[in-house]
Structure 1
Amino acid sequence: MDVIVVGGGIAGLSSAWALVKRGHRVTLLEQGTVPNPLGASGDHHRIIRRAYGRGNGYGRLITEAYDAWDEVWADLEAVHHDHRGFMCLSREPGDEAEDYREGLEEGGWPFDLLGPEEAAARWPFLEPGTFRYAFVSPEGGALHCRRIAAGLAVWLQRRGAIVREGVRVAALDAERGEVILADGERLRADRIVVAAGAWVTKLFPDLAGRLTTYRTALAYLDPPADLGPAWGAAPVILDVGGGTDGYIIPPTGGGGLKVGTGLHKVASADADANRSPWPDEGRAILRHFAPPLARLDEYHVQSVVTCAYTFTADERFTAVERGRCLIVSSCSGHGYKFGAAVGRRVAEAVETGGHEGLLAWLEARAA
Structure 2
Amino acid sequence: MKAIIIGGGIMGLATGWALARAGCRVDLFEQGALPNPLSSSFDEHRLIRHPYGDHAGYARMIDDAYAAWDTLWHDLGQRLYAPTGTLALSGNGTDWAQRSAATLAAIGRPMEELAVADLPHRFPMLNTGGVERAFWIDTGGVLFAQDIVTALVQHLGKSRGVTLRAETPVRSVDLDRARIVTGAGAIHDADVVIVAAGAWAGRLMPSLAARLVPSRQIVIYLDMPAEQRAAWAKGPMIIEKTGDVGLYLVPPMEGRGFKVGDHEFSRAGDPDAGRDATEDEIRPLLERCRSLLRGFEQWRTERLKVCFYTVTEDERFVVEKQGTAGWIMSPCSGHGFKFGALMGRELARTIVSERDPGAHTRWAAGLEGDKPS
Mark yes or no: TM-score above 0.5. Answer: yes
Instruction: State the AA in 2 paired with 1:249.
Output: V
Measure the CA separation in 1 of the matches of 2:296 and 2:249.
14
Q: Give 1:14 deviation, angstroms.
A: 0.8
Q: Structure 1 pair 253/4, CA: closer, same or farther in 2 (3 Å)?
A: farther
Structure 2 counterpart SS, 1:3: strand
Instruction: State the AA in 1 paired with 2:261.
Output: G
Contact 1:44/1:254 (CA < 8 Å) preserved in 2? no
Q: Give 1:55 deviation, angstroms.
A: 5.3
Q: Give 1:282 deviation, angstroms.
A: 5.2
Deviations 1:253-273 (A, max 9, x none): 55300000123x422263222
Q: Give 1:182 deviation, angstroms.
A: 1.5
CA RMSD in angstroms, aligned pairs only: 2.0
Q: Give 1:354 deviation, angstroms.
A: 5.2
1:345 aligns with 2:353: no
Partner of 1:124: 124
Measure the CA separation in 1 of the matches of 2:216 and 2:274.
8
Structure 2 counterpart SS, 1:267: coil
Measure the CA separation in 1 of the matches of 2:206 and 2:55.
33
Partner of 2:315: 315
Structure 1 counterpart SS, 2:188: strand
Equivalence map 1:1-367=2 (5 Å): 1-54=1-54, 56-160=56-160, 161-263=162-264, 265-268=265-268, 270-278=270-278, 280-281=280-281, 283-320=283-320, 321-351=322-352, 352=354, 355-367=357-369
**Scaled by the length of structure 2, what TM-score is found?**
0.92
Contact 1:95/1:242 (CA < 8 Å) preserved in 2? no
Instruction: State the AA in 1 paired with 2:346.
Output: R
Deviations 1:208-264 (A, max 9, x none): 22222211110100023332122111011133444523100011255300000123x
Instruction: State the AA in 2 paired with 1:71.
Output: T
Q: How many residues in Structure 1 have an aligned counterpart in Structure 2?
A: 366
Q: Any unmatched runs of 5+ in structure 1? A: none
Measure the CA separation in 1 of the matches of 2:167 and 2:62.
33
Comparing 196-205 with 52-61, greater Cα deviation is found at: 52-61
Measure the CA separation in 1 of the matches of 2:324 and 2:274.
33
Contact 2:318/2:329 (CA < 8 Å) preserved in 1? yes
Measure the CA separation in 2 of the matches of 1:54 and 1:17.
31
Deviations 1:27-52 (A, max 9, x none): 11122233322211111100001111
**Scaled by the length of structure 1, what TM-score is found?**
0.93
Q: Give 1:179 deviation, angstroms.
A: 1.6
Q: Give 1:194 deviation, angstroms.
A: 0.8
Q: Give 1:315 deviation, angstroms.
A: 0.5
Measure the CA separation in 2 of the matches of 1:65 and 1:148.
15
Structure 2 counterpart SS, 1:266: coil
Structure 2 counterpart SS, 1:130: coil
Instruction: State the AA in 2 paired with 1:146.
Output: Q
Q: Give 1:280 deviation, angstroms.
A: 4.3
Deviations 1:277-332 (A, max 9, x none): 13544545322334322333322010111011111111110123123221111411
